[in-house]
Amino acid sequence: MTDEKDTKDPLDDLIERFLDAPRNTPEQVEESKRNREALRGTIRQWAEMKEDGTIATDISQTLLDGTCAHGSSSSAPSDADYEALRSLHKLTKPGDDSTVYKRLIQGVWTVVDDLDQQI
């Protein structure tokens, strides 16, 4: 005897589970929308100094039109942006890490204490 579960198309199973999932309440949908709106014109940049002195960065950015971008990079001590990153994030030794927040204020990316700060 063949088990129905064994013959079920995996895509059909995924669709069924998706459709059976609980829906967000209207309040949750509105809260999510407010949170996304609050992120417009923001950057979150995390940096860590690695054992070899290289600075690894991870950046999330939301432009004013809602476009989101995410990226990561690393900068070696010989790279042109190294000292600026090290200074901005106050990294002095391997293992140090920090997160910097920026808001687009009058067309200039400006460091702020946190993304709740409105200027």
| Tokens at 12, concatenated | 């059909």
pLDDT in tens, 1-33: 455 556 778 898 888 888 887 788 889 889 988
CA distance 100 to 85: 10
pLDDT in tens, 85-98: 999 999 999 999 99
Q: Which of 74, 28, 71, 68 is nearest to 50 (CA)?
A: 74
pTM check: above 0.75:
no
